[in-house]
Amino acid sequence: MTIIKSQLNIEENRDILKSHSDFYSYQFQLKNRIRGNDLYKYFELTDDEKKGISSTIRLNVGTTPYYLLLADPYNPKCPIRRLIIPTEDEAYLAPEESPDPLHEERLSVVKGLTRMYDDRVLLFSNQECSVYCRHCMRGRKVSFNEERMSKEDLDLCFEYLKNNPEITDVVISGGDPLNLSDARIEYILQNLEEIDSIKICRIGTRIPVTLPFRITNNLLKIIEKFNNDNLSIFCNTHFNHVKECTKDSKEAILKLLKVGVSVGNQCVVLKGINDSGEDMLALHRKLLEMRVRAYYMYDPEVIPGSRGFRTPLAKGLEIIEFMRGKIAGMGIPQFVNDLPGGGGKVTLSPNWYMGFHKKSRNHIFRSALRGTFHLSPEPVDSNYDSIYKEISDKDWEYYSKNSRDVFQ
């Protein structure tokens, strides 16, 4: 096979990255993030990608050397590559799109603190990420200096939490909160731990995926210190494809588990990246091997430049239906839509429940495992009959007719 000169240069540049003596240092990774204008050194860029890099309207372009090396330099359909490099789609603002579809800014009670629910809040700790993922739903905040959270901004958030004791759960997001310095992370956790009413802290981070070397011994000591009887710390990370599930990522996850942090995964259904039952099943099987439990699978948000990623709502239902019966329940995420307009999350599921036949007082279910139909009787003293979806006598006749073969 003939290898052209540009490919040789790409391979040489990649070899230089991975052979650096400090490659496994997170400081090296952050200091040497690859920006948009330098991606040509590591990828054989398409015209579509070149236009995307030059005209994106959403957020910075950049990746850690570690995450870059997971991507195929020659295949533009590589899932990791598509999460790193913008295409021309990203420069197009569709009429249905909004920079803040969830109304997080309108629901902000002080700078950096969004309150959508009575008992929990979202704390925006910073505006930076180690990798600027192209599907990021907070492009309005991420990579913009004016969104930086000072110590004084954080103190106002803590003061609000002290004055609203009905809030018990704080989700720390960003940007990526684990991109902050150890000192700033300790400051945030210490303040939360000192507020008596705050019992749960959830760290939303993609660091185990994009920069696993950031999970250092010192960071773990800080997390373990405040993960105590007063405050329970959880981590929700964000693997989207099985290619991201590396040995280094698994080691980072295991370190968090050893200091008592439960780790869950939130993914997004992304067109051409993971929008098939096979892809999602492979991802979640691997995550279980890594001791990561499935949490959410999101329907994509209607953010600017996202038409290249968005999938039909039915695609998520199709994926969940495919996965059911092929993996343990703890490996199947809840499919959710975070409702535009600040309506909060709703879970969506395939239609396993066919309905209720009043005369026989039986519920009819379709088996996710076999596709067969099954009966479940309603308790004789139930007074809920009127709220169930009713099955007609005609439909009941069909199910009854087939009961010999399919009802267990």
Per-residue pLDDT tens digits for 296-346: 999 999 998 888 999 999 999 999 999 999 999 999 999 999 999 999 999
Asked if the model's pLDDT at residue 404 lies above 60, the reply is no
DSSP-assigned letters across all residues of 88-120:
GGGG---TT--S-TT-TTTTEEETTEE--SSSE
Is the pLDDT reported for residue 179 higher than 90?
A: yes
Whether residue 4 has pLDDT greater than 80: no
What SS3 state is found at 385? helix
pLDDT tens digits for range 68-92: 999 999 999 999 999 999 999 988 8
- At residue 30, the 3 state secondary structure works out as helix
**Angle made by CA atoms 173, 205, 314, in degrees to the nearest 5:** 90
Q: What is the mean pLDDT of residues 355-378?
A: 90
Average pLDDT over residues 25-48: 97
Number of H-type helices and E-type strands within the chain: 14, 15
What are 91-146's pLDDT values in tens digits? 888 889 999 999 999 999 999 999 999 999 999 999 999 999 999 989 888 888 88
d(Cα 109, Cα 351) in Å, to the nearest integer?
38
User: Is the pLDDT score of 18 beyond 50?
Assistant: yes
Q: Which two tokens stand for residue 45?
A: 């860029």
Residue 54's contacts (CB-CB under 8 Å, 6 or more residues apart) are none
Q: Would the pTM count as exceeding 0.85?
A: yes
Question: Given this model, what pLDDT does residue 144 score?
Answer: 83
Q: Residues in the chain, how many?
A: 408
Per-residue pLDDT of 194-250, as tens digits, reads 999 999 999 999 999 999 999 999 999 999 999 999 999 999 999 999 999 999 999
**pLDDT score of 408:** 43
**Residue appearing with tokens 């993914």:** 267
Structural domains in the chain, CATH included, are 5-91 (no CATH), 108-348 (3.20.20.70), 353-406 (no CATH)
CA 1 to chain centre: 40
Return mean pLDDT, the chain. 94
Query: Which uninterrupted H or E stretch holds 54?
Result: helix 47-55
Question: What percentage of the chain carries pLDDT values higher than 70?
Answer: 97
